[in-house]
Amino acid sequence: MSNLVVEAELREETGRSAARRLRRAGKIPGIIYGGDKPDLPIAMDYFKISRLLEDEQFHTSMLEVKVKGSRGKNTVLLKDTQWDPVKDTIVHVDFFRVSAKDAITTEVPLVAVNYEKCPGIVAGGVLETIRHALEISCRADSIPEHIEIDCSNLEIGDAVHIRDIPLPEGVTVPEIEHDEELNFTLLTIAAPRVEEKAEEAEAPEAAAAEGAEAASGE
């Protein structure tokens, strides 16, 4: 389990007006739900929750929410974060109660590694990411922070598919569990774009033309 802890307090008032008052006071409304227990409305410090949300581990680990004024332990997963589309500020955070043995389905980031020096990139190829995240199933206490895709041997034109990568022990991908023939693409090493080559070729000619104009102007 993660050592990340969320400090919160009980939220006595709910509704839009109460939420606006909380935000003006530098706090964020949230809720803890699930686990056959009543919903628990909470409020959290805006600055503290913002810092936690910057940590990748916070999005993929079991967390403990310590609620002032409430009894019992709240072991949760971050379920949803709602943002203001104009101000790009947090407006609400949802947590879902879990236990270590619960089987859960969630998304984790996909991270390409060793691609900078792979043959395809060295030859001028371009890394094109098709999927940035992957939906997985596993125990709540075994969620990987991310899943790596090793690109060290890729050539131009090569692609990495879901069945090409090893998954951590106990982790499955529901999409391919339900379809034995499915093997979707995660990333590719594409050939350099024609437009990029053309721009590189035109650059020296344009510079020469500008130099000639400058010289004739003198």
Structure tokens at 15: 């509704």
Q: Which CATH number applies to 5-97: 3.40.250.10, 1.20.120.140, 2.40.240.10, 3.40.50.720?
A: 2.40.240.10
Judged against a pLDDT cut of 80, whether residue 140 lies above it is answered with yes
What average pLDDT does this structure show over 94-113? 93
Structure tokens at 123: 């030859």
CATH superfamily membership of 103-195: Ribosomal protein L25, C-terminal domain (2.170.120.20)
Amino acid at 96: F
Structure tokens at 86: 């104009």
Residues 6 or more apart whose Cβ sits within 8 Å of residue 170: 138, 139, 142
| Range in 118-127, 136-145, 170-179, 194-203 the model is least confident about | 194-203
What average pLDDT does this structure show over 93-114? 94
Sorted by where each begins, the domain ranges of the chain are 5-97, 103-195
Judged against a pLDDT cut of 70, whether residue 117 lies above it is answered with yes
**Residue 174: per-residue pLDDT:** 95
What's the rounded Cα separation, in Å, for the pair 142 and 98?
A: 12
What's the rounded Cα separation, in Å, for the pair 155 and 180?
A: 27
Angstrom distances, CA of residue 210 to CA of 48, 204, 205: 55, 10, 9
Contact 148, 134 (CB under 8 A): no
